[in-house]
Structure 1
Amino acid sequence: MEATLAPTGRLRIVVAGWEGGGNVPPIVAAVEALCARGHDVTLVADDSLAGDARAAGAHFVGWKRAPNLPDRSPANALVRDHEWPDPFAVMSAWCERVFVGPSEAHARDLIDVMTVRPTDLLVASDLLFGSMLAGEAAQIPTAVLAPNVSLSPLPGHPPFGPGFVPAATEADHARDRAVAEAVEDLWNSFLPHLNAARMSLGLQPLARLLDQRKAVDLHLLATSPAFDFPVASPPADVRYIGPLLREPGWAADGCDGFKGQAEPRILVSFSTTEQGQRSVLVRLVEALGALPVEAIVTLGNMIEASDLPSYPNVRVVASGSHEALLPRATLAITHGGHGTTLRALRHGVPLLVMPMGRDQNENAARIEYHGAGLRLDPASAAGDIAAAICRLIDQPAFAHNARRIADTLRAEPPAHERIVAEIEGLVARRCARPICAA
């Protein structure tokens, strides 16, 4: 299958997406940006994203062979992180059920779409290995979109997962090597799934699972170097495009803002997917209830407000626009999802991060590294949480460092413009033809 540009230069783009909570807004934001530029975009994803895709101006095709969630309800979650004994077991469950296990199904679904709809470029997901495989098998220019920091550590970065800061001593380097080997072994335990998919599509097997990422043309990181650890020389195929921040439509309702005029004002937001966050939120609300602050806790649809204790200074709501709340917030408290973290930083708001898994330890480590907040174990007692909150409010260096990052983020070109430029540039290089979007 060869990419052939439409006569007008309007690109025909297929985007692979999946229902993963915090990864959804960046995917939809990318689709919106490409559609607004005039390109013909098809999102292939879980049915739960159909409304978002069509509202953005894209075509939508649901997964046929691959796992497909009909909605975002907790009952339909493919993996409930808190049900597994440790982070490696959680990651194994995600690999088996979503990331690698269904690789052939993801690849064949995308190839079917790209056969019916002539395609100039595929935007693959950094975690759906079958989406990268589809681009390789179909010989279509492929860009991988990572909605956060790089899954494959960049030069000088520690291994992804535990939330280490860059190594400073030989002991740190030894630790990094040991953990990197363990992470590599975990990925490679699923190599038979990927190689079976590759061979079914006529491709040679790989020696290591992460080598599948080498088959793509471009890796787009939807984050900022101002947030990431320093990189002396990024690989030539890696581009920072900046955070693709987009609020879901449901988030705008349910909260009319902070009531008081005096600080401190605190916004609390944990995962919009099931991570067993009820217990930490109970202790967090207890801590806030004992402090002279005004707090708003946004829940999403994972738990009910009635599940949490009630205090006059703590308002618990199903949803609320973080974009509207953060300009008046003194502090944000979160599990460390990339979107919530970068949105708070864009407003110069320091963070208390209580990571519960996934990429959250990595985001917490970067907050700590830049001095823009604190990291705290989600199992901490209410008194320890209260002490961390007081420290963040009382010590101005945290807010100063958060504002410093905000200044850099504001000076960067908008992410929606950068992703369009990178994708158009990739196709122009591969096809040697100018791109002139309608």
Structure 2
Amino acid sequence: MEPKPAHAGRLRIVVAGWEGGGNVPPTISAVAALCARGHEVTVVADDSVARDARAVGARFVGWKRAPNRPDRSAASCFVRDAELADPFTAFAAWCERIFVGPSEAYARDLIDVMTVEPTDVLVASDLLFGSVLAGEVAGLPTAILATNVSICPLPGHPPFGPGFLPAVSAADHERDRSTAAWAEEMWNGFLPNLNAARQALGRKPLARVLDQLHAGDLHLLATSRVFDYPTAGLPEGVRYVGPLLGEPSWIDAGGARPGSPDRPLVLVSFSTTDQGQSAVLRGVVEALGRLPVEAVVTLGNVLDGFDVPVPANVRIVDSASHEAILPHAALAITHGGHGTTLRALWHGVPLLILPMGRDQNENAARVAYHGAGLRLDLASEEAALAAAIARLIHEPDFTINARRMAEALRAEPPAGERFVAEIEQLHARHRAHPTCAA
């Protein structure tokens, strides 16, 4: 059955989402912007996202065939990174269980929704390859939303994952070539899964897993050009829309207040999913306890039973509004999730980043590249943590660079408006030229 077109003007938009922690707030921010514009939006996602989607005015449909988390608990997560040997094993598990393995299930769920409801545009997820396949099969204009830096390296960028700085030497370029080949091999280990889904849905096989992303008309990066590495040009259809910095619906807006004005305030926030951050959090709390600072540690409502001796100058809360704390902060300490990183930079706050995996090395590398913070290994001892914290607070260049980044970010047009404009223009182009993509 062909998806039904909606009437002109007010668009019917289907947005594919999934519960991955930090990817949810920017996805919901995008949905909120579409709803505020007057479009009718249906979010198809894990049941744990239902409350957020409905709160901004969208209709919600839970995944039926595809994996579906009922809540945000660690027990419901399909991949528990902390239980796996290393980030490479975790990546393979995510590919098998979410990104590529269930592609047919994700695609069929979306096609069912788009067949019943009039649909003008599909907003797919860059990490749900089945969502992009659904748009290809349905023949709908499809925008792929990336809630972080691009997983497909842009021209002149190093390969995604390890957190390399841009190449400046022959050895760097060779490093990038060999790492890119290894990453390609990792992705293509799941090519049989993707091609089985494509065959079941009447599409030809692909030679590479990442070629599935070429089926989208637009690839919208919810990050900033000024945060990302420089690039000579963007591939056709790739656009920066800027960071979508909505906060989760479950935060406690009154959960924490700034400390005394004569002692620098430090915000500590690691993942909103359990990535095994308890050990590093303990080390950070111990280091902060020995310094003349005030600190607020937010646990992301995910670490039940987190138990550590709490120094007098540290407050630990399940959640609190970072938007309320950061204007008063001198430093943010984090794992380097994209949302936390960009929100700190938006407020001109330098960062100490201890990456745990996923996209975090990439964000940490960009912060270091711009001189707006430092990156440390997770295994860093208390003395190293304390020394880095002292440097970031007392050496002015870090704050100067972070504030320069804040000025550049704030000078950009609002990300929600840019996202909506791209979706509306995509629809208009397809109405005018149905066979034209970006």
- What TM-score bracket applies, with the shorter chain setting the length? over 0.9
How far residue 249 of structure 1 moved from its aligned partner, in angstroms, is 2.2
SS at match of 1:315: strand
Task: Measure, in 1, the Cα distance between the counterparts of 2:418 and 2:3.
Answer: 22
SS state at 1:27 partner: helix
> What is the number of residues matched between the two proteins?
433
Equivalence for 2:415: 415
Q: Which moved more, 1:295-304 or 1:338-347?
A: 295-304
Structure 2 Cα separation of the partners of residues 331 and 29 of structure 1: 25
Counterpart contact for 2:5–2:118, Cα < 8 Å: no
Alignment correspondent of 2:26 = 26
1:44–1:63 CA contact under 8 A, matched in 2: yes
Matches for 1:355-394 after TM superposition, within 5 Å:
355-394=355-394
Gaps of 5+ in 1: 434-438
SS class of match (1:175): helix
CA distance in 1, matches of 2:300, 2:244: 20
Aligned to 1:346: 346
Deviation at residue 208 of structure 1 after TM alignment: 0.7
**For residue 74 of structure 1, what is the aligned residue in structure 2?**
74
The CA deviation at 1:2 is 5.9
Runs (5+) with no aligned partner, structure 2: 434-438
Distance in 2 (CA, whole Å) between partners of 1:259 and 1:233 is 45
Match of 1:273 in 2: 273
Matched, 1:252 2:252: yes
Structure 2 counterpart of 1:373, one-letter code:
G
Other-structure match for 1:91: 91
Question: Tell me, what secondary structure is at the counterpart of 2:23?
Answer: helix
1:3 Cα offset (Å): 6.6
Q: Aligned partners of 1:2 and 1:35: how far apart in 2? A: 25
Alignment of 1:55 with 2:55, yes or no, is yes
Secondary structure at the counterpart of residue 228 of structure 1: coil
Write the mapping of 1:105-144 to structure 2, written as runs, cut at 5 A. 105-144=105-144
Closer, same or farther in 2 for the Cα pair 1:45/1:306, shift >3 Å? Answer: closer
Question: Residues of 1 paired with 2:12 and 2:408: CA distance?
Answer: 34
Secondary structure at 1:374's aligned position in 2? strand
Alignment of 1:146-225 (within 5 A): 146-225=146-225
Q: 1:120 to 1:306 in 2, by over 3 A?
A: closer
User: Contact (CA 8 Å) 2:3, 2:117: kept in 1 or not?
Assistant: no
2:298 corresponds in structure 1 to 298
**Structure 1 residue matching 2:327: 3-state secondary structure:** helix
| SS of residue paired to 1:85 | coil
Residue identity opposite 1:420 in structure 2: V
1:322-370 deviation digits (Å, cap 9, x = unpaired):
0000000000000000000000000000000000000000000000000
Q: Is the 8 A contact 2:2 2:115 kept in 1?
A: no
SS at match of 2:332: strand
> What's the % identity of the aligned pairs?
69
| AA aligned opposite 1:255 | G
Aligned partner of 2:218: which letter? L
Q: Distance in 2 between matches of 1:368 and 1:319?
A: 27
- The answer as to whether partners of 1:305 and 1:318 remain within 8 angstroms in 2 is no
- 1:425 matched to 2:417? The reply is no
Per-residue deviation, 1:251: 1.4
What CA distance in whole angstroms lies between the structure 1 residues aligned with 2:143 and 2:176? 29
- Structure 1 position 309, deviation (Å): 2.0
Asked if structure 2 preserves the Cα contact closer than 8 Å seen for 1:79 and 1:94, the reply is yes
> Hey, what's the Cα distance between the residues in 1 that align with 2:21 and 2:187?
22
**Amino acid of the structure 1 residue aligned with 2:14:** V
**In structure 2, what is the equivalent of residue 436 of structure 1?**
none
Q: What is the rounded CA distance, in whole Å, between the counterparts of 1:256 and 1:182 in structure 2? A: 44
**Structure 1-normalised TM-score?**
0.97
In 2, Cα distance between equivalents of 1:142 and 1:342: 26
**TM-score, normalised to structure 2's length?**
0.97
Secondary structure in structure 2 of the residue aligned to 1:28: helix
| AA in 1 matched with 2:407 | D
Alpha-carbon distance between aligned partners in 2 of 1:234 and 1:306, rounded to the nearest angstrom: 44
Contact 1:254 1:317 in 2 (8 A): no
* Residue number in structure 2 paired with 1:328: 328
Query: How far has the Cα of 1:6 moved from its partner?
Result: 3.2
Following superposition, the deviation at residue 236 of structure 1 comes to 2.1
Q: Deviations over 1:143-162 (max 9, x none)?
A: 00000100100000000000
1-side partners of 2:304 and 2:291: how far apart?
23
Deviation at 1:253, TM superposition (A): 3.6
Mapped contact 2:95–2:101 kept (Cα < 8 A): yes
Say whether 1:310 aligns with 2:310. Answer: yes
> Which letter does structure 2 place at the counterpart of 1:293?
V
Contact 2:132 2:215 in 1 (8 A): yes
Partner of 2:250: helix, strand, or coil? helix
Partner letter of residue 85 of structure 1? Answer: A
Give the counterpart letter for 1:256 in structure 2: A
**Once superposed, what is the RMSD of the aligned Cα atoms?**
1.2
Q: Is the 8 A contact 2:268 2:298 kept in 1?
A: yes
Contact 1:221 1:239 in 2 (8 A): yes
For 1:306 and 1:218, the matched residues in 2 are separated by 42
Q: CA deviation at 1:296?
A: 0.4
Of stretches 306-315 and 415-424 in structure 1, the one that deviates more from structure 2 is 306-315
Tell me the residue number matched to 2:436: none
How many Å apart are 1:262 and its aligned residue? Answer: 1.6
Aligned counterparts of 1:304 and 1:252: Cα–Cα separation in 2: 16
2:27 aligned counterpart, secondary structure:
helix
Structure 1 letter corresponding to 2:134: A
